[in-house]
Structure 1
């Protein structure tokens, strides 16, 4: 009990310190919204007397997806609702969010007992599964589109739910968590100091065997895809746990421990992707340089990146799309000047005309191509530049990283090699304004829509 109390107190202190450092206050109540958070009682088998809250947006889709969103120690379902962007993203994309609360209120999730670490073994996971079943039955939600996310203790429970119920969840995103079984003590809501301190290191095979042999023995079906996040300066749950999570899930999902690609989609966000043989990302990790125990940060694209990875935005990877690449801030289109086929020509924005020199395709190889005069050229970071001001040019397609681009759910287009954003120079709205690469800053001159 002393250890559990210490974790709760420590996490609260960290949250308060982060809020003070960033000049933020911790939200005390949900923001005004068209829909509201609703408490559900009598939702089914609930051995630990958890509380269930559900957010159903007014724009909810027919047969909607479900996101189970799990708070950290000292938190609650309503707190997570008000302090993260998942509800706003539900408004945008029409999925349902279930926000449970632990019992006693403010306690950590049970990720340490044998009951919790076994499918249908009892404790918190059983009550969480009852919430999912209730949502499917009473809101017509899609049982084939169930996802889970969480922060801190909720990130730990995200890993547990993915391990215990691999047939239920399609994907999950764990913020500041630890691997499944790392926090095991044999007691309910126990404290595992070595795990929290990043001192537990197993081989990928050992981590994978724990999932296969302990969580749901005998299961041989498909496994959920996993995204994990951690700040490099986290002193509450050590950053080393990110690497242990990556070892566990790459082994479980049968992919190499060597990343298929690495990039920096946002400044100080180091991303690694681990793909299967068909090129589909199975495991994705985010190391947030200098961040402490504070993820996901409201008002940043963190929640949006998680939602996109899980597929809750309905788009999946934005590839295979052809059309105009609209510069949102200027209301104009990315344009190959005079339909040139000359390699090295800097690209510009221009009034949208529907011409072939404004028709871009985001390929499965992450290229952005334009076909003019019978020639297909690639958008290219000039001279393989990775500095602010690097020209966005066209060049013969060569498969190199400076010709690979992520079209992101937050509206940015980022270079895989540099992590910089495609940017209209000086936020100009004039025809002929050049396009370059620049550090991502959230400006409208870095917002694009394709198609």
Structure 2
């Protein structure tokens, strides 16, 4: 053996040992997680993209508005545009490899509203997501997400997700390194498992570069929602499925997969991956535990899905042809080159759990209507379930003191009973009464405080509304389609 051969062989051995050591370090680092001390954001020892790289399936797109996805990433996470003067501001991290600098957004957007204009790609490939153009299913450009509509915390540090209301969408049709044809790839997204609908299609992943439906197998994206037109799983939904174009697949073929359960974790890890005649769905609670495999097997046997014809665009919140009737909330997600192993994905899940996603802390006080100046009030401090809430002159009573809980409820203590603000009967239509009811954890008792001052019901997306835009004492409140009126705007505190 020549000296050069010995040198080459020695380098190969060292490289294999280095890769093995890196993979072990990733697993240990991911399981150990990151910590925050003395209010200072600490960089993670490893991020999810470091885990994927160690597993031989590097990230080729990495999007997050909440944190760095590489331990050494120190660039911008996203960009916001201020409505008052159209000024732009990049929002970065508090420290290298750390959490989003939410305070920078709050200061920049104070006294006005902001939208998210760019979600930067941290992989270095410039696969940034921007406002989606029109497509075959719907004209565009699509709406941009309210920058403050999805508050969250990570290990106690405030951040904001991407709140996708119907009509909102992001896209990149000119990417680098994203799988095309039948090339293997993986992807994950962290989503709000309580924010969804049956519209088409809340997706994140690989789509057509023309914004048009170009046929079966031209997409491979994570879908989340409860539509049943194509595939579906057990229970009422929502389900994690794959949008492969002209079909949402829960398993081997179009239709029912008994192994794809309803999943509605407040923070949800959703994964889809695909390779030649092989694909899988995995998911789990992003705050604890591991991943479950809902499907792993061959491609659907319908024409066009084996081999696949992926085109390599990236979408968020919409379908491949710009179908934009869905809703959801996105916090972070990546796409990889290559088909990740389950061991790698399990280590990524451990990193996600260690990131410490949690709801924003509870706050309390009067809920005051912007249009009327009056307070959300329980009539006569009644503890009777089903009492319709109203507005009334603010006077500081217990029946006007509301607590916004970490789970998104609005609670009030009246006559010794703690009750929740509730969309009566779980209804979602315009005119649904908003009442007080014993707290039961239902989605119809969850409310979102949005940056524009509206308070929306989670299942309906409709606004807490003072009936008829009246300002008189004892005017009832209800659900109504959001239209921007002052009778739909509130402050808490």
With the shorter chain as reference, the TM-score category is: 0.3 to 0.5
- Bigger proportion of residues as strand: 2
**TM-score, normalised via structure 2 length:** 0.40
The structure whose RCO (Cα within 8 Å, separation 6+) is larger is: 2
- Bigger proportion of residues as helix: 1
